[in-house]
Amino acid sequence: MTLRALFLAFAAVAFICGFTYFNDAVLFHSMFVGNHIPMSVFGGLFLFLITVNPILHRLSRGKPSSWLRPFSARELCFILAIVLPTCCIPYSSMLRLLPNAIMLPHHYAKTITSWKLQDSKNSQTFTPATSLLPKRMLADSEYDDGNALLAMVQGMPTKPGQKHVSPSAIPWGAWKDTLSVWIPLFLLLWLALGGIAVACHHQWANNELLPYPIVQFASTLMPEADGTVSLVLRNKWFWLSCIFVYVIHLNNYLYLYYPEYLIPFRRFISLWPISKLFPTFMRGGGGSLLTIRLYFTAIGIAFLIPVDVSMAVGIGPFVFMYIAGVLAKIGMPMHAGYIFSSRISSGLISGGILAFFAVLLYTGRHYYLNALKGALRLGASRDVPASAVWGVRCFLVAATAFIASLTALGLDWQLALIYTAVAVALFTVLGRIIAEAGVFYLAPGVYPCALIVAFLGEQALGPSALAIMFFLTTVFLIDTRECFMPFMVNALHFSASARLRFSRVLPLTAIAIIVGLCIAVPTTLYFNYDRGANWRDAFATSSVPRYAINSVVAARQRLQAQDTLAVSESCKGFQRFAAIKPNKRFMIAFGATFAATILFSIARLRFARWPLHPVLFCLWPGYGGYMMAWSFIIGGTIKIITSHYGGSKFVQKIKPLMIGLIAGDMLAGLTVTVYGAIYYFVTGTPPKTFWVLLA
């Protein structure tokens, strides 16, 4: 750890947290973070290694102690360990959604008739549905005579002669109370998850030897001990694939501007002519898989992981679509109901996630139990590092504080405990998947509130508890594509691979997160008032603010029709468990997938050649799953062929070629982003939208 590495790490944090919202929402360009292998970070790393470091190597010859010496692999790993966890802040999994989720419900309460709730069957008085939520969970829409809401919806007017509003004109007071609730909740959740990540790292990295493919990719690019470029960067196969991919993206991007001069390279291959051969598959939504989508990063990562994992990720969506088609044929549609209702699809994915979590606990039971004993001072174990013990302690304290905070918002402590446990299990599984499978787009669509509703029933919960849980899910879990846990898992492995002490890196990571929040929160709010809410992003401005209230209004109407509304509101504490009414379809789907995941896990442990990993049941219905399915199948197939005909030596020889695919994607994404920003500042108009990876 050096002063220059520390400075560069915090400069990168400040830039990412300050620029991401502008790039993603204003330029509406290829996402600056976007997923768990952010092109801004890894593309920047690659560009740095092929330009800046060689220059520094030349300048520092004969001056080994100079500040101009090339950055070592240890310094670069330290920078990545600090930067990666902060990537969860500026957009998709936090600030893209949070301002809209806590302010725009006030707007929809004025425009949606069903959001006006009748106090009782014969009452003539109505209250807005937002009143079901604690007041502090929403921003103050009445601040400044209602202009806090109006200015965000329409954009704040500027003074004559000015293009942008003054920061002093932003109604910061409307956000003070609600952010004092939400930001501590985020910090407590991240602290709890960070503790779990630290506690699990030794088990995953050293005992189970997980591949960590994203870290593996970056590590192969790192400089040698003497400061020279890595062996991979001197490999012709690497540069062949890297330049090939880079030229494809550059050509396709320039085609948007000069279609009369260029011919695009099609990365999507349609198989629609064969759709009539598979009516059941098509009925289940299989049309989304009848296009072969070539994502070079996914192909490269699939080559870096075991074949059973890559093929499970690729085949899973096909299995899910066929099952959906069979159920649709007998009148049981997968996705019937509101997003937080007891859908069959939610049961299938929840069963897989929780079973996967149970298997993790079982296979590492001795390690985790010893870590817990050490944390509670019930006896230390030599097999458990001190960092894991402190990680468990950190988790226990932060999780307890998080549960207490949810209780203070109005949830019973029993519901707060169950909700937190399910959320933690989900995020832990996402961290495990990034370490074992390298799937960088993680949004499986598992919602703790839907699981609780399915097991207990709406009549045991009541609208008030439902509203709080639905809203918590909207903010924390509705889009996990940039969530904290996978970033933290990779950051810890970067630290460990560079032999950096967690006790030194983690406090600096915490400071970086605070700095990132201090930059990203006011920046995001400023753009939301200077330009108005980003209505072009319909998901963030139209869907997200309505998810929770739509779901709870529908539940309230059902309870009112059944004349059980008053009873549901009177249920408190353990009384809820006496009034449970599980959803049968959800329970069957949940149980089937739970059992299948357990059986696959047992078979994988029992039979050396078992072909599919149980991760199949964790990602199969999600957007990222079916978008990347073909790429993972292609990458896995390439590895099968090379290992079968060339053996392990040939696999290692081809490895630089596959790493080059990832590097080409990263460099192309960074190039497109930089060009888009320059284009905007020169012309004053947003650049044309182009996606290197998933939108």
Structure tokens that stand for 223 in this block: 């400089």
- Supply the pLDDT for residue 119: 66
- Are the CB atoms for 209 and 628 separated by under 8 Å? no
Condensed to tens digits (0 to 9), the pLDDT of residues 550-603 reads 999 999 999 988 989 889 998 998 999 999 999 999 999 999 999 999 999 999
Predicted local distance difference test score (pLDDT) of residue 496: 96
Side-chain-side CA neighbours of residue 450 (13 Å): 29
Q: Which two tokens stand for residue 274?
A: 């064969």
Q: Is residue 35 assigned to a domain?
A: yes
CA distance 682 to 634: 41
pLDDT band for position 122 (50/70/90)? low
Pairing, β 116-118 against β 126-128: antiparallel
Q: Which residues of 520-539 are buried (b: 16+ CB within 10 A; e: fewer)?
A: bbebbbbbbbbbbbbeebee
**Cα separation of 178 and 168, whole Å?**
19
Strand 268-270 with 126-128, pairing = unpaired
* Cβ partners under 8 Å of residue 206, min gap 6: none
Segment 457-471, tens digit of pLDDT: 999 999 999 999 999
Given phi > 0 = left and psi -120 to 50 = alpha, else beta, which region is 370? alpha
In a domain, 126, yes or no: no
CB 587 within 8 A of CB 595: no
For 421-451, the pLDDT digits (tens) are: 999 999 999 999 999 999 999 999 899 999 9
Is residue 59 predicted with pLDDT exceeding 90?
no
Cα–Cα distance measured from residue 88 to residue 92, given in angstroms and rounded to the nearest whole number: 8
Q: What is the C-alpha separation between 117 and 265, in angstroms, rounded?
A: 54
Residue range 480-508: mean pLDDT, rounded = 96
Q: At what angle do helices 413-436 and 344-363 cross, to 10 degrees?
A: 70
The strand pairing partners of 399, in sequence order, are none
The mean pLDDT of 251-278, rounded to a whole number, is: 93
**Phi and psi (nearest 5°) for 677?**
-65, -45
pTM above 0.75, yes or no: yes
β-pairing verdict for 291-293 and 116-118: unpaired
Q: How far is CA 34 from CA 88, 134, 246, 641, 688, in A?
A: 9, 32, 19, 32, 17
pLDDT at 370: 95
Q: How does residue 379 score in pLDDT terms, banded at 50, 70 and 90?
A: confident
Element (H, E) at 283: helix 279-283
Taking a C-beta distance cutoff of 8 angstroms, is the pair 398, 192 a contact? yes
When pLDDT is averaged across residues 281-288 and rounded to a whole number, the result is 92
CA–CA separation, 377 vs 385, rounded Å? Answer: 14
Written as six digits, the tokens of 517 are 């929040």
Q: Looking at the predicted structure, is the pLDDT value of residue 123 above 90?
A: no
Number of domains present in the structure of the chain: 1
Evaluate whether 29 touches 690 at the Cβ level (below 8 Å).
yes
Show the tokens assigned to 354: 């929780």
How confident is the model at residue 409, as a pLDDT?
A: 96
Q: Which whole number is the average pLDDT over 274-301?
A: 94
Per the domain annotation, does 437 fall within a domain?
A: yes
The answer, yes or no, to whether residue 65 has pLDDT greater than 80, is no
Asked if the structure places residue 442 within a domain, the reply is yes
Q: What is the pLDDT of residue 28?
A: 87
Residue type, 364: G
Instruction: Report whether pLDDT(617) > 90.
Output: yes
Q: Show the tokens assigned to 235.
A: 């490999």
Query: In Å, how far are 117, 288, 345, 469 from 341, measured between CA atoms?
Result: 20, 24, 10, 12
Q: Is residue 501 scored above 70 in pLDDT?
A: yes
**Whole-Å CA distances, 165 to 157, 527, 529:** 7, 9, 8
Is residue 23 within 8 Å of 29, Cβ to Cβ? yes
pLDDT at 529 over 70: yes
Phi, psi (deg, nearest 5) at residue 127 = -125, 150
Please name the amino acid found at residue 343. Answer: R
State phi, psi for 86 to the nearest 5 degrees: -80, -10
Closest to 669 in 3D by CA, of 297, 127, 154: 297
List C-alpha distances in Å: 479 to 126, 399, 440, 579: 33, 21, 13, 32
- Segment holding 331, helix H or strand E: none
199 within 8 A of 391, measured Cβ to Cβ: yes
Nearest to 486 by CA among 433, 448, 443: 433
Answer yes or no: is 435 within a domain.
yes
In a domain, 378, yes or no: yes
Per-residue confidence at 694, pLDDT binned at 50, 70, 90? confident
CB 688 within 8 A of CB 257: yes
Structural domain that includes position 620? 3-104+180-328+338-683
The per-residue pLDDT for 120 is: 63
User: Which one, of 538, 535, 623, 508, lies nearest residue 10 by Cα?
Assistant: 508
Chain-wide mean pLDDT for the chain?
94
Residues 6 or more apart whose CB falls under 8 angstroms from that of 145 comprise none
Backbone angles phi, psi at 383, to 5 degrees: -80, -10
Residues 47-53: what's their mean pLDDT? 95
Q: Residue 482 in contact with residue 92, Cβ under 8 Å?
A: yes
C-alpha span between 223 and 244 (Å, rounded): 23
DSSP code of residue 268: E
- The tokens describing 163, both together, are 């293009």
Query: Is residue 350's pLDDT more than 90?
Result: yes
